[in-house]
Each structure stands twice: as C-alpha cells, then as structure tokens.
Amino acid sequence: MRACPRQGGSRGAVLIELIMTTIIGALLVSVLPSFYFAYIKLWRQETASLGASQQASRVIRRMKSDIRNSRSGVTSSDGSRLTLVMPALAYNAACQGMTVVIGADGSQINGDTVEYYFQQDPNGTGSRGGNVYRQLTRADGTQKIPRLVADSVYPSLNPLSTSTGSPLPVFYHDADKDTVIVAVTASEPKPSAGTFAPTSLEPICSRDGGDLVRVATDGKPEGAIHCTNCGARAKPGSELVTYRTEIRLRNH
C-alpha cells in the first residue's frame, strides 16, 4: 500500500514554519539592532579611550628619563612649565660612551637645560587645549628648536586639586619629596559611525557645543565633567583620559 502524504500534517508543518519564521524575524528586527548599536557605541568609546590613553602615556614616557636624570627641577607658578637642569656629560673612552662628569668636590656638574612647557592653542578658549613642547638649551647657551611632544592636551580638564579646588597644573614640583608630578589630560574624538553626529576634535559637549569643565561633586572631589550649558547632562564628543605620574628626581 502506498503511503499518501498526510494533508493535515503538511498543513500543520507549514503553520509551525510560518510561526517560527515570524518569531525569528521579530527577533532579528527587535534584538539585533540594539546589539548592533550597543556594540558600535562600545567600539567608539573604547577606540577613543585607547587613543587618549596612548597619547597621555606617551607624553609622560617621553619626560620620564629627563626628569629622573635631572639634577634639579623648577616649575613655573602656573604649572605650565618645567625647567630641568641635566648633569654635564662627557665622552668616557673607558666606557666608550657618554658618562656623567664628576667635579673636584665629588658631585655632578650642571649641563644642558631641558624645558617642557604647555602652550595653549592661540585660537582656543575655554576647555580648548594646546601642545606640550620640549626645548633643549646647551650648557653654552645654544638654544635648540623646540620639539613637539604632544598635541591636544587639556590642562583645564585635569582633575581638581583637593587643596586648591582648581584643576591640577601640568607640572608640580613637590620640594619636600623632591618629585615632579605630571598631570596630562588627553582627548580623542570618538570615531565616526556613519550617520551619527559628526565627531569633534575639541572636548566640547556634542549636544550644544558648550565648553566642558570640571565640577566638584560629593561623590567626585576630583571633579566630574560638566557642560557649561547642560551641567551634569554633558555629552562629551570625545573621550578624556588623565594620566598623573609622580617622578622622583634622583640625581644630586
């Protein structure tokens, strides 16, 4: 006897398939886009945050050996400039390299001067940043061309000092501990994700273009990022990362 296709069963399968297709379709339409947008948001945030961290850590890495090896460090009153006196070096044939010169009294001798300074972008206002340069002056007074160490640095967005309530200076020399504290806030625009709001190079509020400021709150004495227009509802168009390092001067 030949088996006939079961009409009812076939119709049932079609119905189940239709229901399944509808459910899967609904899932695709409702759940996937939210995954997609959450992922895009995370990706934009992570990429920008990584860029800003790299920028800030690069500045500090660049300064570290100069600060450590210097004989003395002086910071300007506004903390935008650090002047380091390096020990004099001379070629040592026995070591086949440059070594520190030791004077008659057994101590080091002053050599080159290295200055690090922050210069604000002349076209900028508010939270707009500037560059950090390194200037070398030879022991004989010859000034070398300043070299750019970092751009897009935002000292006005440095964490607030608990003692003064103002943003930490870029450079601070703690005479008691003989350390130099460097605080660098770098900004990195969030990468564009097509149709979303245009990215901004400046750390401004992406909602209204307002300047960003640090405002001390109960939970955050170092200050939370606020917008001058929307306050705590600020939507920074870029990721801001602060690196703060204490470097000991070890040469005397």
* Binding interface with Zn ion (CB under 5 A): 205, 207-208, 210, 227, 229-230
Least gap, CB of 205 to Zn ion (angstroms): 3
Task: With H, G, I as helix, E, B as strand and everything else as coil, classify residue 129.
Answer: coil
Least gap, CB of 226 to Zn ion (angstroms): 9
Task: Give whichever of 167 and 210 is closer to Zn ion, judged by the CB atom.
Answer: 210
CB-CB contact of 201 with 124 (8 Å) = no
Task: Give whichever of 138 and 233 is closer to Zn ion, judged by the CB atom.
Answer: 233
Least gap, CB of 129 to Zn ion (angstroms): 18
Contacts of 72 by beta carbon, 8 Å cutoff, 6+ apart: 84, 85, 249
In the chain, at which residue ranges do the beta strands (DSSP E only) sit?
72-75, 81-87, 89-92, 97-100, 110-120, 130-137, 147-153, 171-174, 179-189, 212-215, 224-227, 238-248
Least gap, CB of 156 to Zn ion (angstroms): 16
Least gap, CB of 103 to Zn ion (angstroms): 58
Comparing CA positions, the residue from 134, 131, 177 lying closest to residue 153 is: 131
Backbone phi and psi for residue 181, each to the nearest 5 degrees, phi listed first: -105, 125
Task: Give whichever of 186 and 227 is closer to Zn ion, judged by the CB atom.
Answer: 227
Task: Give whichever of 168 and 227 is closer to Zn ion, judged by the CB atom.
Answer: 227
Q: How far apart are CA 79 and CA 65, in angstroms?
A: 20
User: If you search the block for the tokens 């210097």, which residue do you land on?
Assistant: 70
Radius of gyration of the chain from its Cα atoms, rounded to whole angstroms: 29
Q: How far apart are CA 237 and CA 6, in angstroms?
A: 63
Task: Give whichever of 17 and 208 is closer to Zn ion, judged by the CB atom.
Answer: 208
Least gap, CB of 165 to Zn ion (angstroms): 22
Least gap, CB of 233 to Zn ion (angstroms): 7
Q: How far apart are CA 238 and CA 132, in angstroms?
A: 20
Task: Give whichever of 32 and 201 is closer to Zn ion, judged by the CB atom.
Answer: 201
Contacts of 245 by beta carbon, 8 Å cutoff, 6+ apart: 60, 64, 181, 182
Task: Give whichever of 133 and 154 is closer to Zn ion, judged by the CB atom.
Answer: 154
